[in-house]
A and B are shown apart, each in its own frame.
Chain A
Amino acid sequence: MDLENKVAIVTGAAKPDSIGHAVALGLAHEGADIVVADLYEAGFPEITRAVGAAGRHCHCIRTDVADQSSVEAMVRQAADRFGRLDILVNAAGGSWGITPEDLTAPPRRGFVGLTNCSLDDWRTILAVNLEGAFYCARAVAPYLRESRGGAIVNFASVVARRGVAPGSEGSSGPYAVAKAGIIALTKQLALELGAYGTRVNCVAPGVVMSGRARRLMAALGEERGPEGAISTIPIGRAGTVDEIARLVVALCGGETSYMTGVTIDANGASYMA
């Protein structure tokens, strides 16, 4: 197995039917021990059981990625528990339902752009999606340097490439900006960590049928999602959690040995950067 005995931190991995959850399991199946860093404590028993069933250790730590001290405590605890850290997947994020208070909130209705969002929207969304990845990468970097052969995978979004059209719901202007920041964060970290053999890459998904997207579609209908109608995606369908998770796992392993600083668009040809 490609990742035998490596240790991976996956943020945002506790909710079932999320990309982070599938990534954590995929990494475990490749032989990695898993640290789940998430606010959603209700999901901890299930992911622990699933990783255990794959024959690997799972350590869940309640973490608010938007809070630097929470992130640093998580990374310290993870390193104490396993003695090393090799992989970081920054899967925590989203454009709604991302604060400790509203983890299971329904999607907010209406278009949220940059000219009509509240300053609180802006700060919260930037904090979770961009600052969170920054805090995690910074805290983990010393361990990855030791690891020699480590990997970071970040999540951008198709909206980072093309923005959120007025009228569309379920995504937001601040989210597009935060995710564009993630693309630059990926490049910068790739330059800084390349000399240590750590690769830093990013996936920019289009619509992916996670539990979250299903809740969104249930509220909005298939014709009103953040990317417009599913039928307008050239490949004619949304992506699956499974295919995105497999891609992320591959970005942690040998298939992508000479790739760093790159953002892979996985959007069914809906936007070709």
Chain B
Amino acid sequence: MRLSGLEGRVAVVTGAASGIGQAVVHRLAREGVRLALVDVYEAGLKQLSQELAGVVAQQFVADLTDPSEVTDLAKRVPDEVGEVSFLINVAGGPVAPSHQDPLPKLPDRAFPIEEIDDLSWARILATNLTTAFLVCRAFVPRMKARRSGRIINFSSIAARRGSDRVGVHYAAAKGGVIGLTKTLALELGPYGITVNAIAPGYINTERIAAGAWGRQAPEQHSALVEAIPLGRLGRPDDIAGIIALLCSDAGGYISGATIDINGGLYFGP
């Protein structure tokens, strides 16, 4: 549909270089949004920028678990792209990327709790929850000063209904994102800023297809798909549409919500 309130505005999309982030970037670019593309995966950002010919889009390579890199990012974006209207925190996942290993392979199975060591607990929390906190903290002051903005964080079906596909570290981090979202919605409402979370279900990105799903037996795969009322896995575009919607005038009165996008696998509380 025709979405209003997007054209010419600036969005920061973290985790822009692959999967859902990439789809969000393409969707917002189509609506005339100017983009700050943020990822630790530099090669992916370069590739994405090439696909965005004619779009105002600036690349920012950053490890968002590092507070100083986030602070630096928040200083640069307004100067190099413009004042930020939409902050879209897609960055995260069941593995923890870094400058040294920017696109780690996704696990091919879930981790039982006794296999999650202190370091992987800390790193998955940092990748999925601390990044959202740091990015919001860095960008919020200017949004408050302008008394407008939309923030969208990423939770997961793993937090909403639990999941046997990842591990408690990922689910706990994504649950934390919901608490962060609600409290920030209360805090920033008086400044005209909405804050919401997206909880995707099973979205078939290239990386996930190459990870656990690519290895599961066909009957396991069809059991998963049959359990989904809409009868298919999600596509990154299915998420991108809602992001555009929440940033548009249609999203103006939605705040503090967690929106489940999972083909009917889980309906919310």
Bound state CA distance, A262 and B254, in angstroms? 14
Closest to A234 in B: B189
> In whole Å, how far is B58's beta carbon from the nearest beta carbon of chain A?
26
Q: What's the tally of chain A residues with a CB closer than 8 Å to chain B?
A: 48
B229 is contacted by which of A190, A246, A272 (Cβ under 8 Å)?
A190
A256–B268 CB distance below 8 A: no
A260 is contacted by which of B3, B185, B263 (Cβ under 8 Å)?
B263
Fill in one digit per residue for A30-58: 1 if any B CB lies within 8 Å of its CB, else 0. Answer: 10000000000000000000000000000
B254 is contacted by which of A3, A242, A247, A255 (Cβ under 8 Å)?
A247
Closest to B260 in A: A262
The answer, yes or no, to whether B112 is at the interface (CB within 8 Å) is no
B244–A265 CB distance below 8 A: no
Fill in one digit per residue for A234-245: 1 if any B CB lies within 8 Å of its CB, else 0. Answer: 111001101110
For A258, list chain B residues within 8 Å (CB): 201, 230, 234-235, 238-239, 261-263
Fill in one digit per residue for B245-267: 1 if any A CB lies within 8 Å of its CB, else 0. Answer: 10011111111110111111001
The answer, yes or no, to whether A259 is at the interface (CB within 8 Å) is yes
For A272, list chain B residues within 8 Å (CB): 182, 185, 256-257
Fill in one digit per residue for B108-134: 1 if any A CB lies within 8 Å of its CB, else 0. Answer: 000000000000000000000000000
B242–A255 CB distance below 8 A: yes
> In whole Å, how far is A258's beta carbon from the nearest beta carbon of chain B?
3
Q: Which of A87-95, A119-127, A173-181, A194-202 contacts B (4 or more CB under 8 A)?
A: A194-202
Fill in one digit per residue for A73-112: 1 if any B CB lies within 8 Å of its CB, else 0. Answer: 0000000000000000000000000000000000000000
> In whole Å, how far is B107's beta carbon from the nearest beta carbon of chain A?
24
The answer, yes or no, to whether A211 is at the interface (CB within 8 Å) is no
A261–B229 CB distance below 8 A: yes
- Once A194-B264, A256-B245, A257-B238 are accepted as A-B contacts, the answer to whether A243 and B1 lie under 8 Å apart by CB is no
A240–B252 CB distance below 8 A: yes
> In whole Å, how far is B224's beta carbon from the nearest beta carbon of chain A?
15
B259–A264 CB distance below 8 A: yes
- Once A258-B235, A258-B263 are accepted as A-B contacts, the answer to whether A234 and B250 lie under 8 Å apart by CB is no
B264–A246 CB distance below 8 A: no
B231–A247 CB distance below 8 A: no
Closest to B259 in A: A264
The answer, yes or no, to whether B156 is at the interface (CB within 8 Å) is no
The answer, yes or no, to whether B44 is at the interface (CB within 8 Å) is no
The answer, yes or no, to whether A205 is at the interface (CB within 8 Å) is yes
> In whole Å, how far is A137's beta carbon from the nearest beta carbon of chain B?
16
Interface centre among B186, B228, B268 (most CB of A within 10 A): B268
A265–B241 CB distance below 8 A: no
B241–A255 CB distance below 8 A: yes
A269–B245 CB distance below 8 A: no
For B231, list chain A residues within 8 Å (CB): 194-195
Closest 3 CB pairs between A and B? A234-B189, A194-B229, A258-B238
Can you list 22 contacts pairing A with B, beta carbon distance less than 8 Å? Answer: A208-B253, A234-B189, A235-B189, A236-B190, A239-B253, A240-B252, A240-B253, A242-B249, A243-B249, A246-B248, A247-B250, A249-B250, A250-B250, A255-B245, A258-B235, A262-B268, A265-B257, A269-B185, A269-B189, A272-B185, A272-B257, A273-B268
